[in-house]
C-alpha cells in the first residue's frame, strides 16, 4: 500500500508580493521538485499579513490552523513540518505547539530545523553572503540587519558577528532591529574602522517591511537615514535570504534530514 506523505512549509509571511515570489514561492517550488512523492502544503503565521493580502489583493494563504485542517482531511501517513524561520526562537516554539495541538493523535509529525540551527549552518549562510559581497573595499562596511527577539536564541546574532570577525571580515557587521546588537552598537563599532561607505542588507528570509522601511526608508529613524546622519554614504540592497539559491539549499537539507529521521 502506497504511503501518503505530506510536507508543511511554514513562514511568517510578507505583504510584499515581489519578495513573496522570490522567496516563499521559490522554496515551495524547490521542495516540490526535491520531494515529488510528497503533497506540499503551506501556512503563514502572521494574521495581520494574511488579512492584508485578503483585503488588498484577494489572495488567500492558509493560516497554520487552516493548513492543519487541510492536512487532516488529506489523511497522510506522516507529516514533516519545515519552517523558513531563521532561529529557534518564539515564533518557532509557537509554531510547533500549534501544529502539535491541531495534528490528529495518530499522525507522526517531524519538525525540520530553522536556518541557523548549527554552527555549520551559520558558517554556510555567512559564506553565501560573503560570496555576494566579495568586492568590498577597505573603506566600505557591510551591515546585515536581522530581526532580533527577546528570546534567548537572539544570542546567535552576536555569535554571527563574532564569526564574521573570526573569518577575517572586520568590516562586516551583524545587527538587529529589535534586540542586540542594536543600531547604536553598530555605528559605534563602524566608527572604529576606516569605512566611509556602508552597505545595508536585510538578514531575513524575505525583504519585506523591515527591509523597505526600517532599513531603507526615508524617515529620519531608518537605518539608512541614521547612518547618513553619522556621515556615511549608504547603499541599500533589498534582497531577502530566501532569494539565495544556496541558502534555500540549506533549508532543503534540513528537510531531507527530517524526512530521513
Active-site annotation holds for 237: no
If we measure between CA atoms, which residue out of 198, 203, 226 comes closest to residue 141? 198
Cell numbers describing residue 93: 516554539
Positive/negative CA dihedral, 164, 93, 63, 100: positive
If we measure between CA atoms, which residue out of 116, 145, 157 comes closest to residue 212? 145
| 9 in Cβ contact with 41 (< 8 Å) | yes
Choose, from 147, 199, 210, 254, the residue flagged as catalytic.
Answer: 147
- Give catalytic residues, as residue numbers: 147
Amino acid at each position: 500500500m502506497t504511503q501518503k506523505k505530506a510536507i508543511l512549509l511554514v513562514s511568517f509571511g510578507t505583504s510584499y508580493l515581489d519578495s513573496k515570489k522570490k522567496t516563499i514561492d521559490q522554496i515551495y517550488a524547490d521542495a516540490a521538485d526535491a520531494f515529488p512523492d510528497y503533497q506540499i502544503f503551506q501556512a503563514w503565521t502572521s494574521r495581520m499579513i494574511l488579512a492584508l493580502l485578503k483585503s488588498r489583493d484577494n489572495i488567500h494563504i492558509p493560516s497554520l490552523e487552516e493548513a492543519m485542517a487541510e492536512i487532516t482531511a488529506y489523511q497522510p501517513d506522516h507529516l514533516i513540518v519545515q519552517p523558513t524561520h531563521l532561529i529557534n526562537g518564539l515564533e518557532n516554539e509557537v509554531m510547533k505547539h500549534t501544529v502539535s495541538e491541531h495534528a490528529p493523535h495518530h499522525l507522526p509529525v517531524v519538525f525540520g530545523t530553522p536556518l541557523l540551527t548549527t554552527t555549520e549552518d551559520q558558517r554556510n549562510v555567512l559564506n553565501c553572503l560573503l560570496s555576494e559581497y566579495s568586492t568590498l573595499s577597505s573603506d566600505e562596511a557591510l551591515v546585515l540587519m536581522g530581526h532580533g527577539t527577546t528570546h534567548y536564541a537572539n544570542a546567535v546574532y552576536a555569535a554571527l558577528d563574532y564569526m564574521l570577525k573570526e573569518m577575517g571580515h572586520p568590516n562586516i557587521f551583524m545587527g538587529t532591529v529589535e534586540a542586540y546588537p542594536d543600531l547604536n552598537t553598530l555605528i559605534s563599532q563602524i566608527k572604529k574602522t576606516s569605512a566611509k561607505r556602508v552597505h545595508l542588507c536585510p538578514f531575513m528570509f524575505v525583504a519585506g517591511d523591515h527591509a523597505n522601511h526600517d532599513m531603507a526608508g526615508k524617515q529620519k529613524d531608518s537605518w539608512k537615514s541614521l547612518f547618513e546622519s553619522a556621515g556615511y554614504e549608504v547603499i541599500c540592497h533589498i534582497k531577502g535570504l530566501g532569494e539565495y539559491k544556496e541558502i534555500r539549499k540549506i533549508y532543503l537539507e534540513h528537510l531531507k534530514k527530517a524526512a530521513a529521521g
